[in-house]
Amino acid sequence: MKRLSKTMSLLMLIFAVSIASLSVNSADAQAVPEWVKNTALWYGEGIISEGEFLNMVKFLIENEVIVIDSGVEPIPQEVEAQIIIPNGNFDVTGAGFYSPLNLEISVGGTVTWVNDDSVPHNIQSIDREGKVTQLFNSPPLNTGDRFEHTFDEEGVYKYYCSFHPWRVGLVTVS
């Protein structure tokens, strides 16, 4: 009885693992050798030892009848990103928004602003009320100049250009 419940829990474990993280190679599923089926049956009936049964499981994995999908895939992390200050950004009547207007980046990511406009701009972090904060503050950036800041904490960060305060952008760090 003890042996049977052990068998059941082993089989259930294998079954659960099959569903959760292993996939039985369907092409090979029909290729399960008869002796493997017999081994399982015999183990359940107490004819063979647990060691022999486990050897069979090992055989199935080693011969890729049961395929182990490790599930370990790198999670794409945005660690470096650019915000373009586009040509015409200075023009209050134009559409020259920061691109992207709301940049999303992972914690620890570094943002580089690039001035592609024909006139200087700066990047000043601001609070919700639009007041300049000391979190990130660039000097005036001439055409082609860059400014970067690394974001170490989650949050939604606002910034603007003090020369053209109608240009407000966001960096969302998560």
Q: For binding to Cu ion (CB under 5 A), which residues are involved?
A: 121, 161, 163-164
Q: What is the closest distance, in whole angstroms, from the C-beta atom of residue 136 to Cu ion in the complex? A: 15
In the complex, the smallest distance separating the C-beta of residue 165 from Cu ion, rounded to whole angstroms, is 8
Q: Which is nearer to Cu ion, 44 or 120 (CB)?
A: 120
Joined together, the tokens standing for residue 158 give 């606002």
Name the residue among 117, 78, 85 with its Cα closest to residue 101.
85
Compute the least distance from the CB of residue 89 to Cu ion, in Å. 6
Cα separation, 32 vs 66, in Å, equals 10
Place of tokens 């081994």: 39
**CB closer to Cu ion out of 158 and 164:** 164
Measured distance CA(155)–CA(144) in Å, rounded: 28
Instruction: Provide, rounded to whole angstroms, the least separation between the CB of residue 108 and Cu ion.
Output: 28
Q: Both tokens of residue 146?
A: 């860059």
| Closer to Cu ion by Cβ: residue 72 or 95 | 95
Which of residues 157 and 159 has its CB atom nearest to Cu ion in the complex? Answer: 159
